[in-house]
Amino acid sequence: MYTQMEFLACTASHILEDKKTVMVGTGLPMIAAMLAQKTHAPNLTMIFEAGGVGPLPPVLPVSVGESRTFYKALQAGSMHSVMSNGQAGLIDYGFIGGAQIDVYGNLNSTVIGNWKNPKIRFPGSGGANDIGSWAWRTVIIMKQNKRKFVKELDFLTTPGYLTGPKAREKAGLPYGTGPYRVITQLAVYGFDDETKKMKLVSLHPGVTIDEIKENSSFDILIPEKIETTKEPTEKEIEILHKLDPQGIFLRK
């Protein structure tokens, strides 16, 4: 058996490809990338927001700025240098999250409510805008419910496909970049090539179409053929626990 966190870590790991670069954040993105390195993507290059490029941390770092994010690294740079790599088109995958997402993959991680007098104010976007603007494929990991999957964002922090087809390019963002996958506790989503609207890719085991509809305030495109998300293997679970022996992430 496996926990929900173990399942999500493995699901995120399966998306990453060998010989690619990925900018990872604290927690699930970090351990997913490390798992990918230990399994199907040994030549995956991890990039950390604090400046570590290509490290090989033996166990899970506590944060993106911890010393292990520079362990056996190819480069010990800075936030400026790694964000410049993104602007130069050198980031294949970027992992981010958010408090709200809409049908085009636009994200809010700034405020809930009115910006001048919000109900909730979050710490800020961090590098989320940069990553979502420049990474070739943005992978979004977040909980799914009607308060998070919304028809209209309270604030636009990170651009997805903005208002639809060609909107990113009109805004000056590189052609071919944008949200690629959304991973939630219920399913994995992608985006339709023509409309750029969110589309179901696979349902997690035991989840129904009705459940994903009940947990979204906008209509999600449903394909004729519905896949089931691949379950973790015993080997993957074993590797996860070796990467996170103290349960910093896996106990959440």
**Residues tagged active-site:** 49
Provide the pairing of β-strand 93-96 with 75-76: unpaired
Q: Please state, in angstroms and rounded to a whole number, the distance separating the CA atoms of residues 62 and 124.
A: 20
In 3D space, the residue among 219, 128, 113 whose CA is nearest the CA of residue 179 turns out to be: 128
Sorted by sequence, the CB contacts under 8 Å of residue 210 that are 6+ apart come out as none
Sorted by sequence, the CB contacts under 8 Å of residue 231 that are 6+ apart come out as 2, 7, 10, 205
Distances (CA, A) of 190 to 9, 15, 73, 196: 18, 12, 32, 9
Q: Please state, in angstroms and rounded to a whole number, the distance separating the CA atoms of residues 85 and 79.
A: 10
What SS3 class is residue 207?
Answer: coil
Amino acid (one-letter) located at 108: N
Q: Please state, in angstroms and rounded to a whole number, the distance separating the CA atoms of residues 165 and 205.
A: 32
Q: Please state, in angstroms and rounded to a whole number, the distance separating the CA atoms of residues 2 and 14.
A: 16
Sorted by sequence, the CB contacts under 8 Å of residue 146 that are 6+ apart come out as 214, 215, 216, 217
| Structure tokens given for 29 | 């993105």
